[in-house]
Structure 1
């Protein structure tokens, strides 16, 4: 009964402070002639470099697009991106994971290339339930480890709480939630998240500077195409922000804490110390809520996007963590 209550609490309460996980993926840090390649070719080259292949899977009314790499005989890592991001946010990390693990990275509904019906329910509980159906249909639950960045961390936490027997570990990177120690504007007033939606030319540059401690170089040809893609998805992104704002008005840090304490799988927390969207104090608060969490790893000079700003500093402790699971 205690497990059932905790699970229901989490599915109702968890983490309604979503944040933007802007897709900044570019090719490995080598020179290339950007004008000679279109945006999709560049992304495909990056996936190949990371040992990933693009696949599709229809489950009920969702046609999932996802990246998959590594041997399916090995433990599975399910990596979940954040609000307005895509599976390609994880490519730099995946390069170091596919030699040792079976890596699966879906585009969330209304993100990237995953397609859903009109008026799809974009609430975190529904997204989590749909991820579970995706895992079952793809038979990806072999020794499953789950990781989430930003809003993807909210989904990963909820998934872990609802399916603890099938989840071997949890990785949270600058994760969304409802926190007491929130000192950033976007946690104090989630309505400000509306300002982060990429809806017009120029918004992408603003978001890069907000989401990273030191904005990475992105060739202009790539940046223009990335911005166009995000503008085309802005209507659905706005719908997700509306859901997050609505729920943040309903639930409190205390109810979040009560729910999060039901999670007892081994947990690793990684945070950028210069995160301007979800302040670094949250990492220690999260650690105190979980029954089996290691001390948080805080990355100096890194903002909200460790998976892109400092992928090696992020993946190395994760690999060490996974060795013991």
Structure 2
């Protein structure tokens, strides 16, 4: 039974940078299966343990795996996602690296005050305070997916002495070339919110190239959880809209051009949220970026759609920059 539910969870690749069956609340279904117990089993399968740390007014929930003496990777999830979006990739990394995956403030299990500032600069600064409190800020390898990519890029630009490398996967940003409605008209991001029944199916068709099969009970539970978190997700979306208005491609380029660290870029060629042209634009901005890894037939969620295609390029990249 455990193996069946593990496979069901593993098959659930969801939303815009975004959503995971792994961030389900503590509910039971299909014979009183405890979802939190399944999540813990999934993290253990990936070589991770669930931890908490209070830093200022944020109660951080995060996963940690691998040996503390090895190089540290910090993986940053996207909009409306959770640390568990990374589990499928993390299981390949924990045998060789010290891996930290936080739930961003107000997402997953990380708790914040009702008036928390969800702007990208503030999220980045709070992530730095978390890294300092957990004492892994030095010699850090940072990776980010979607909105997490924008945070990872800004983190690397702001803390260059302590950051050794950057990995960007279908990364958010303010681009000239990315020709998708979600960047041309940022208010369309509001349509990515799961606020009522039926929204999840609609978003799956946008965020993944081949929407996965999800058992009815699991999908309903996931959708209910996302609806319950829609207020926080809405605040994040509004901040992304503000970012697109405040920052131009030229000002975004200034931050990117300030980064000297080695950078790996990966993109799904069927990404409907931030299209693949952005990968080449990012490479042109970053001084030390490798040729982007373009994943054929993959949508906006490579870390859950085809994570195995990311493993060798990332491991090879890390071996070069240790």
Same fold, judged at TM 0.5 (above): yes
Please report the TM-score for the alignment, with normalisation by the length of structure 2: 0.91
Equivalent residue pairs, number = 302
Q: Give the CA deviation at 1:98.
A: 0.3
SS at 1:193 equivalent: helix
Per-residue Cα deviation, 1:113-169 (whole angstroms, up to 9, x for no partner): 000111101000000000000000001124210000000000000000000010000
Pairing of 1:126-275 with structure 2 (within 5 A): 126-275=122-271
Match of 1:93 in 2: 89
Q: Give the CA deviation at 1:178.
A: 0.4
Q: Give the CA deviation at 1:182.
A: 1.8
Q: Give the CA deviation at 1:25.
A: 4.4
Runs of 4+ in 1 over 4 A off after TM superposition: 33-36
Please report the TM-score for the alignment, with normalisation by the length of structure 1: 0.90
2:311 is the alignment partner of 1:312: no
Query: CA–CA distance in 2 between the matches of 1:316 and 1:219?
Result: 31
Could you say what the CA RMSD is over the residues aligned between the two structures, in angstroms? 1.5
Q: Give the CA deviation at 1:210.
A: 0.7
Moved more, 262-271 or 225-234: 225-234
The 8 Å contact of residues 143 and 167 in structure 1, kept in 2 or not, is answered as yes
Match of 1:29 in 2: none
User: Larger RCO: Structure 1 or Structure 2 (Cα < 8 Å, ≥ 6 residues apart)?
Assistant: 1
Pairing of 1:48-63 with structure 2 (within 5 A): 48-63=44-59
Query: CA–CA distance in 1 between the matches of 2:183 and 2:311?
Result: 27
Query: CA–CA distance in 1 between the matches of 2:55 and 2:163?
Result: 21
SS at 2:252 equivalent: helix
Alignment gaps of 5+ in structure 1? 1-18, 27-32
Alignment gaps of 5+ in structure 2? 1-14, 23-28
2:296 to 300, 303, 317: 300
Q: Give the CA deviation at 1:41.
A: 2.3
